[in-house]
C-alpha cells in the first residue's frame, strides 16, 4: 500500500504540485499577519490585567483600626486596589516524628481582607471577616481561583472563545461555565454563588467606527463588588485573523462526512 501511494505521489503532474504549493503559501501569508499582533494583542492585555489581581503574594499586618488593616507590602510588590488576601495566624512549630527537627508551622485561617488603597510599600485593606490582629500574616496563594466566565450575547463568538481559551491557558483559574443567558448582573452573580465561584468575569461588546469595543468586568462573587473594569478596541483586521482559523480549518457548512466501517478495531 505504501509503495502504491508513493508511486502515485511521484506521478503527480507539475500543475497539481504548483496548485498545492500556491495553496500552502496562501495559508502561510494569512497566518503571518497574526504574529504581528503578538506584542499588542488586545486580548493579551486584558488577560494580563486579570492576572495582575491574582499574583501570589505574602505580607504581614502592621496595624488594625476600625475594621481596617495596614499591611507591609504595596505597589512595589505590585499590590493594587481590589486584591483580596487570606489572613492567617501562625501557631506552633511541628516537628519531624523521628528527627524532631522543625519542618513547618501550623497555620489558622483568621479571615479575609480587601485592598482599598495601595501605597508604595504599605497598603490599607478593609477587613471583610475575622478577628484580625497585628502580626497576622496575609497571603494570595498559588492555588487555582474558581472563576465564572460569562460571555454576553453581544460578544462575537470567535472573539469570546479566543479570550476564554487565553484565560484558561494561564492555568491560574478553574473556569466554570453556565448555560444561562441574561444581561442581569444579579442573575449572573446568583449563578456564580450556586457554582461556588470566587470571581466573575463578564464580557460585553459594542461596535465603534467599525471596530469592536470589548469590555470586561471583574466582580467578587460573594458580595458582587466590582474591582476591575477594562475596555480595549479590537480592530476589524484582528477580528478577521481570529475568524480565519475557524473558517479555514474548522468544518464548513455543506461539508459531507463519510463514515467507513473497518473490519477491525
Angle at 67 between CA 61 and CA 68, to 5 degrees: 45
75 pLDDT tier (thresholds 50, 70, 90): very high
Residue 18 lies in a domain: no
First-to-last CA distance in the chain? Answer: 20
pLDDT exceeds cutoff 70 at 93:
yes
Is 206 contained in some domain?
yes
DSSP type of residue 249:
H
- Same domain, yes or no, for 131 and 154? no
For residue 196, give Cα distances in angstroms to 107, 188, 222.
24, 12, 9
Judge if 164 and 203 occupy the same domain.
Answer: yes
| pLDDT at position 240 | 84
| H helix or E strand, kind and range, residue 145 | strand 145-151
Residue 72: inside a domain, yes or no? yes
Q: What is the CATH number of the domain that holds 200?
A: 3.40.50.10070
Asked whether residue 228 falls in the same domain as residue 103, the answer is no
Average pLDDT estimate for 4-18:
44
User: What's the domain count of the chain?
Assistant: 2
- Percent of the chain scoring above 90 in pLDDT: 65
Structural domain contains residue 21: no
Residue 100 confidence (pLDDT): 74
Q: What is the DSSP letter of 74?
A: -
Residues 67 and 101 in one domain: yes
What the block records as the C-alpha cell of 173 is 483559574
What is the residue-averaged pLDDT of the chain?
83
* Range scoring the smallest mean pLDDT among 38-42, 116-120, 131-135, 225-229: 38-42
Q: Which of 48-52, 92-96, 112-116 has the lowest mean pLDDT?
A: 92-96
56-60, 67-71, 199-203, 244-248: the lowest-pLDDT one:
244-248
Same domain, 162 and 131: no
Q: State yes or no: pLDDT of 46 exceeds 60.
A: yes
Instruction: Tell me phi and psi for residue 2, to 5 degrees.
Output: -60, -40
Domain containing residue 204: 41-52+145-249
In this structure, of 51-60, 86-95, 110-119, 178-187, the range with the lowest mean pLDDT score is 86-95
Q: Is residue 31 part of a domain?
A: no
Answer yes or no: do 102 and 151 share one domain.
Answer: no
128 and 222 belong to one structural domain = no
| Long-range own/partner contacts, residues 213-220 (CB < 8 A, 24 or more apart) | 214/42, 214/43, 214/46, 214/155, 214/159, 214/163, 216/46, 216/49, 216/50, 218/50, 218/53, 218/82, 219/185, 219/189, 220/84, 220/114
User: Are residues 148 and 182 in contact, defined by beta-carbon separation less than 8 angstroms?
Assistant: no
**Domain shared by 75 and 154, yes or no:** no
62 — pLDDT class (breaks 50, 70, 90): very high
Does any domain span residue 171? yes
**Cα gap 59→50, rounded to integer Å:** 21
Query: For residue 57, which of 76, 70, 38 has the smallest C-alpha distance?
Result: 76
Task: Show which of 140, 159, 188 is a domain's final residue.
Answer: 140
CA–CA separation, 213 and 262 (whole Å): 50
From 140, 156, 176, the end of a domain falls on 140
Q: In this structure, is residue 85 part of a structural domain?
A: yes
At 232-249, the pLDDT tens digits run 999 988 888 887 655 544
| Mean pLDDT along residues 134-146 | 97
Residue 48 lies in a domain: yes
Q: Which residue has the cell 504581528?
A: 36
What is the DSSP code string of 85-141?
Answer: EEEEEEEEEEE-TTT--EEEEEEEEEEEEEEEEE-SS-EEEEEEES---TT-EEEE-
Q: Note whether 177 and 47 are same-domain residues.
A: yes
Among 95, 116, 112, 113, smallest CA distance to 104 is for 95
The model's confidence at residue 103, banded by pLDDT at 50, 70 and 90, is confident
Label residue 118 exposed, middle or buried (CB < 10 Å: 0-12, 13-18, 19+): buried
Q: Are residues 171 and 236 in the same domain?
A: yes
Last residue of a domain, one of 140, 155, 183: 140
CATH number of 105's domain: 2.40.10.410
| 62 and 47 housed in the same domain | no
**R_g (Cα) of the chain, nearest Å:** 26
- Say whether both 153 and 127 belong to one domain: no
Amino acid at each position: 500500500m505504501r509503495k502504491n501511494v508513493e508511486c502515485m505521489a511521484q506521478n503527480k503532474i507539475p500543475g497539481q504540485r504548483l496548485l498545492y504549493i500556491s495553496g500552502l503559501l496562501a495559508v502561510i501569508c494569512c497566518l503571518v499577519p497574526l504574529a504581528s499582533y503578538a506584542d499588542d494583542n488586545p486580548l493579551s492585555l486584558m488577560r494580563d490585567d486579570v492576572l495582575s489581581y491574582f499574583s501570589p503574594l505574602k505580607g504581614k499586618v502592621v496595624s488594625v483600626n476600625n475594621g481596617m488593616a495596614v499591611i507591609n507590602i504595596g505597589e512595589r510588590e505590585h499590590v493594587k486596589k481590589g486584591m483580596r488576601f487570606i489572613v492567617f495566624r501562625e501557631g506552633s512549630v511541628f516537628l519531624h516524628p523521628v528527627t524532631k527537627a522543625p519542618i513547618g508551622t501550623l497555620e489558622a485561617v483568621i479571615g479575609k481582607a480587601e485592598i482599598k488603597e495601595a501605597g508604595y510599600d504599605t497598603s490599607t485593606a478593609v477587613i471583610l471577616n475575622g478577628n484580625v490582629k497585628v502580626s497576622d500574616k496575609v497571603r494570595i496563594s498559588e492555588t487555582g481561583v474558581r472563576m465564572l466566565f460569562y460571555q454576553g450575547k453581544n460578544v462575537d463568538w470567535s472573539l469570546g472563545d479566543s479570550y476564554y481559551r487565553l484565560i484558561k491557558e494561564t492555568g491560574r483559574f478553574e473556569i466554570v461555565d453556565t448555560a444561562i443567558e441574561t444581561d442581569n448582573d444579579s442573575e449572573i452573580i446568583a449563578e456564580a454563588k450556586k457554582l461556588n465561584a470566587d470571581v466573575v468575569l463578564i464580557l460585553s461588546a459594542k461596535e465603534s467606527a467599525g471596530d469592536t469595543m470589548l469590555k470586561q468586568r471583574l466582580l467578587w462573587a460573594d458580595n458582587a463588588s466590582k474591582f476591575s473594569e477594562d475596555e480595549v478596541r479590537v480592530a476589524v483586521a484582528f477580528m478577521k485573523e481570529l475568524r480565519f482559523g475557524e473558517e479555514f480549518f474548522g468544518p464548513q457548512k455543506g461539508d459531507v462526512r463519510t463514515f467507513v466501517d473497518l473490519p477491525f478495531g
